[in-house]
Chain A
Amino acid sequence: MSLLEISDLKLAIGPVPILHGIDLRLEPGRVLGIIGESGSGKSMTALSIMRLLPASATVSGTIRLDGADLLQKSERDMCAIRGRDVGMVFQEPMTALDPLKTIGDQVAETIWVHGKMNRRDALAEADRVLERVGLPAAQFPRTRFPHELSGGQRQRVVIASAIALRPKLLIADEPTTALDVTTQARILELLKRLVAEDGMGLIFITHDLAVVAGLADDVVVMRHGEVVESGATREVFRALAHPYTRQLFEASAHVPPRDPSLPGGEPVLTVDGLVRDYRVPPQRLFGPAGAFRAVDNVSLTIERGENVGLVGESGSGKSTLARAIMALETAQAGSIRIDGVPLDGRDLKTRRKLQVVFQDPYGSFDPRQRVDTLVTEPFHLLGTDAPRGAERRRRIDAALTNVGLAPSDAEKYIHEFSGGQRQRIAIARALIIEPSLIILDEAVSALDVSIRAQILDLLAELSDRLAISYLFISHDLSVVRSITDRVLVMKSGKIVESGPTAEVFANPQHPYTRDLLAATPSLERALAE
């Protein structure tokens, strides 16, 4: 008898069908990876097992845990099963804990709510569980509140509360997606260790093939509420029997074609000795205000047509550096030149050759404006030189056509477009004033892999054809590797390593770069093992 056996699971929310007959099975002590893009129904499958679905959901089929069908259980029975037999870890560690309760309370809650111990003993037991997940009481007493911990530490608390009663099954829904790569690596280590120690089954849900390849024994590939392929991880990834699996696999490892003729010549962006300090409120009352140096004496150059990657974890200062280059923040020292012209935050003329594309395709457009108004926003930088009438029309058409959209799309509102299309519009907005440099701030991070591959192709093509340079900021090393010529590695406000992308990836010099590369999940490495 399997630990978990789902057969013909169907789910609809209101009138909308979400799952169309899911079958999967998991044995104790094994890790099952569920892969899928957004809208594939992978999270809803997990919530169906927990029976934590929205009130308007209707479910059919069977979900057998140790032979007993969970879909037939009463809500009272489910309360007894959740936390005791099945634990769950969610994606967003920053919001998954009650901000008003101590971490000890929240771990102990799992223990006493199932009547295993009284509250005092449960708190003592919580100490032991927190120690197991790497939060020893000496450094992380259980009286801490969630806001006193980092994202990775909070995720450990969430894991502790999920495994406190050593459940038979643990479900982890994108538990590391919101974390930095090195933190992700440590959390994955922890999950592996817990599976080995407790012999529980783990369902690991993710969009990232490389993570699954390194972790899961078996894998299920989902699309549009259906299982398209399942089997042992290595076999599925080696055979790539199903076209969709192959498509996902290729998109994940996609390298856009580039014009090999070296970019070069004159510098487009020159940053020299840039410093950005933040004031820190005093620690003590009437104490001195501190300063935090987010960008510490950074110099860099980008040549025409060159694609430069800037990588680093959260807090490394890469976003601050980008904001300073965009004149959104004032630097305390140093200079920035674009096409040889010193950047002056107040003088719009000096900013005409610089544009930006942001991460979130949903948040980067004013929902109340039409696409033609949206993409022509940068014309403000041109002041009285801004094109009008037919010329304006022509420039809108050209920009939309360049990114693969139709000129008629100018009449629409942004909600009529998908995430990938919105990112194309964002690129069109950047292109419309014919910049020399576009800063791509995590511009493909929020996209599904297949869409991401298309956008990367578009970016590579535009760079070659229009001789545009990119500063490509990302936490995702595999993307940076695929599209950039040169890479800069940033840590604690400093650039610790730079060089041609291939060289840095093949032969990293700085220990931090080595750590980053080692922590980054890699498909090839996982499959080669």
Chain B
Amino acid sequence: MADAGIASIDLPRGSLLRAALRSPSFVAGAIVTLLFVGIALLSFVWTPYDFAAQDIPNKLHAPTAAHWFGTDQYGRDVFSQILVGARTSLAVALIAVTVGVGVGVPLGLWAAARRGTLLDETIMRLNDLVFAFPALLIAILITAVFGPSATNAVIAIGIFNIPVFARLSRAAALSIWTRDFILAARVAGKGATRISLEHILPNILNTLVVQITIQFSLGILAEAALAYVGLGAQPPTPSWGKMLADSQTLISLAPHLAIIPGVAIVLTVLGLNLMGDGLRDIFDPRLQRSRQ
């Protein structure tokens, strides 16, 4: 068997952290992600300037010592806006993922427990249907009636996340359901619900964790896109996507306005994806075998 330092997919979580720290992509991704989480938290207590304070005489400045990331068309400090924008981005993505996991995973587990029945079929067909509505279309429908807001963006991305997690947890659960230890639990008289909670859920957590990082990064991209077309957070709340929308017509005058928020988005998403890739490698049973 493997020496104690190697985490295998069939291994309890004790030695997982050590394995994780040995994966360069996980470490790099985690550092970048933590940086942005830190920035978002920091913005609650400190920003260099009031992000909404206008200073028209100093508008469209390139980055300087006073304004690290320059100023926008109203002379507002871009660095402060980036800090507060991180908050919006992460909050929207976080809530949307929570919605997706909270609704999708129980649905998927339920469908897997009743696999092959009408209930399973219905859940899966409804999932397929939601897949036909990209988050943007859901946002458009909601916005058309209720008007744009960050809340609507959260709802739209959250709804889109539900079938992602439902499908994934159903597929992962189905493969666990075929294992002999589930038969043993059934011989011990355990019902589907108890088995799903005691045996299935702990065994699909790895897969879910990887997908959570991916959906989190997709959430950030989706939030930015919605904000860009005006369906997300509304002024004065700063959002990276909105900042990009405002920068577009000023690109020849002040390219930094278009570059900085974009780089912020790319870095955050990159960090989360790297973390996800690292986790996937750590959890991958095939890579485990070759390491043993």
Contact = CB atoms under 8 A, between A and B. Distances in A.
Do A and B come into direct contact in the complex, CB within 8 Å? yes
Interface of A: 54, 56, 326-328, 348, 351, 354-356, 358-360, 363-368, 377-381, 413-416, 418, 426, 429
B23 interface: no
Given A348-B189, A358-B183, A364-B184, 9 more contacts: A54-B290, A327-B187, A364-B181, A365-B184, A366-B181, A367-B11, A368-B202, A380-B189, A418-B1
Contact of A328 (B181, B186, B199): B186
B185 interface: yes
Contacts of B179: 363-364
A365 B190 CA distance: 15
Given A355-B187, A358-B184, A413-B12, A367 B1 contact: no
Given A366-B199, A368-B203, A415-B8, A356 B181 contact: no
Given A359-B180, A360-B180, A415-B1, A367 B10 contact: yes
Nearest to A368: B202
Interface size for chain B: under 10, 10 to 19, 20 to 34, or 35 or more residues?
20 to 34
A470 to B, nearest CB: 15
B188 interface: yes
A415 B289 CA distance: 13
A296 to B, nearest CB: 24
B152 to A, nearest CB: 39
A380 B8 contact: no
Contact of A429 (B1, B183, B184, B203): B184
Interface of B: 1-2, 8-12, 179-181, 183-190, 198-199, 202-203, 290
Contacts of A56: 290
Given A368-B12, A368-B203, A415-B10, A356 B184 contact: yes
B12 A377 contact: no
Contacts of B187: 326-328, 351, 354-356, 378
B203 A328 contact: no
A364 B180 contact: yes
A144 to B, nearest CB: 28
B5 to A, nearest CB: 13
A416 B179 CA distance: 19
Contacts of A364: 179-181, 183-184
A117 B12 CA distance: 56
A358 B189 contact: no
A363 B180 contact: yes
Contact of A380 (B12, B190, B290): B190
Contacts of A414: 10
B189 A351 contact: yes
B142 to A, nearest CB: 40
28 contacts: A326-B186, A326-B187, A328-B186, A328-B187, A356-B184, A359-B180, A360-B180, A363-B181, A364-B179, A364-B180, A364-B181, A364-B184, A365-B181, A366-B198, A367-B9, A367-B11, A367-B203, A368-B202, A377-B184, A377-B190, A378-B187, A378-B188, A380-B189, A381-B188, A381-B189, A414-B10, A416-B1, A426-B184
